[in-house]
Each structure stands twice: as C-alpha cells, then as structure tokens.
Amino acid sequence: MKRQFAVIGLGRFGGSVCCALIEQGMEVLAIDQDEARVNKYRDLVTHAVVADATDEQALKHLGIRNFEHVIIAIGDNIQASILTTLILDELGVEHITVKAQNDYHEKVLTKIGAERIVHPERDMGVRLAHHLLSKNVLDYLELSDKHSIIEIIASTKMSGKTLMKLDVRAKFGCNVMAIKRGREIIVSPQATQLIKEEDILIVIGADEDIKRFEYEMFD
C-alpha cells in the first residue's frame, strides 16, 4: 500500500513538500484555508480540501488520525501552527512534522507533541553560507546543534592519497561515510580507498572538527 501523508498549509514550503511526496508515489491530502491555493494543487495531489486546521471537528471529518504522517506547513500564523499541532497530538496522529518560525516556536511545538521540527528558511541560509564560504562544499545537512554532514569535492591535497594516508578520522575526528565518483557511490569506503580529484566526499562529524578539516585540507 502507498504511504499516506497530509500536508497542512500550501504556501511555498507546503506546496513543495506535496510535490516531492507525489513524485515519490505517495498519497497526499493537501489542506489549506485558502481556496485558490487548494485549487492550485487539486490536480497534483491525491486529495485537496479547503479546511480550517484549527477546527478539531473538521480534521476528524477528514479522517486525519488515519494518516501515517502529517506535515504542518502553516506560514506566519504561529498560534494556528501550535493549536493544529496540539489537536493532531490529541487525536493520536503518530508522526507530526512542523515548520517552525523561530526557536521559541520550536520549544513550544516540542512540548506539545511535534515529532520533528524544521526551519526551512534558516536551514537553507546555513547551507547557502557554507556553499559561499567554500567553493568545495556542495551540500550541508545539520544533524544537531553540534553535528553535521557535508558533501565536499576532494581537493588537490587529497588527490592520489588513500583514506589511510589522509587519516581523516584520527586527525580531525570526522568520518568519510561515502564517496561519489561520477555515477558510482562507494559506501563505507575501505582505508585503502584511493581518492581521486573531483571525487565527492560525504563526511560526518562535529561542526568544529568539520571546520578544521575544511581549513587544513582545502585551499
């Protein structure tokens, strides 16, 4: 059976989530108070309805508790976001992901039942900053306040050397999880793996360790 998701709030973020889920073959219920937004996605998603997500009866009528995962992508209305999260938690929705506006919003959401909090604007800003500061960094994913994963293009300093020779783990405390080489992906590479120029390294570690790794291994 296809997995079932509900997305509440069809702004730029919520709409992009809907499209991504549909592309992956999921069933998606799209909900928004704005009829024009709902009509925009009506032909793209499985179901699209105009509804007030802060109305518990409306959500019950939609059978929201039967959905495996609900994503709350409500825009600037923090009160509506919090109330919707609270209602979903009380209705017994198993997985709830919520878009947060700020750290205070996140703290409240965590206490009332949100399983995962996302900061799309902040996260995109951090990723862009890393890309701008280092021409080698292709992508950046924050795992926690202190740990991250980066995709970085191997430098000339690394080319022609094995992971054992580079000794990234001992020197910097980071781990090379995988290497992308064209269409090939080398998962959990061996210590004897030779690094080639233009290889893309997927590295995990503490933020401070990753910074030292970038500073010392890249021009």
Per residue of the chain (219 residues), give pLDDT as tens.
678 999 999 999 999 999 999 998 999 999 999 999 999 999 999 999 999 999 999 999 999 999 989 999 997 899 999 999 999 999 999 999 999 988 889 999 999 989 999 888 777 777 667 666 677 888 888 787 788 899 999 988 899 999 999 999 999 999 999 999 988 999 999 999 999 988 999 999 998 898 888 888 875
Q: In the 8-state DSSP scheme, what is residue 136?
A: T
Angle (nearest 5°) at CA 54 between 74 and 11: 20
Please spell the DSSP secondary structure of 164-187, one letter per residue: HHHTHHHHHS-EEEEEEETTEEEE
Up-side HSE of residue 54: CA atoms within 13 Å toward CB?
A: 9
What does DSSP say about strands 69-72 and 95-99: parallel, antiparallel, or unpaired? parallel
In a 10 Å sphere around its CB, with 0-12 CB exposed, 13-18 middle and 19+ buried, how is residue 182 labelled?
A: exposed
pLDDT in the model for residue 37:
95
Selection from 72, 69, 55 nearest residue 27 by Cα: 69
* CA 180 centroid distance within chain: 20
Q: How far apart are CA 91 and CA 39, in angstroms?
A: 27
What b/e sequence results for 69-102 when a residue is b if at least 16 CB atoms lie within 10 Å of its CB, and e otherwise? bbbbbbbeebebbbbbbbbbeeeebeebbbbbbe
Q: How far apart are CA 159 and CA 182, in angstroms?
A: 15
pLDDT in the model for residue 1:
61
Phi-psi region of 173 (alpha: psi -120 to 50; beta: other; left: phi over 0): left
Selection from 162, 149, 163 nearest residue 203 by Cα: 149
Q: How far apart are CA 113 and CA 107, in angstroms?
A: 11
pLDDT in the model for residue 87:
96
pLDDT in the model for residue 131:
66
Q: What is the model's pTM?
A: 0.68
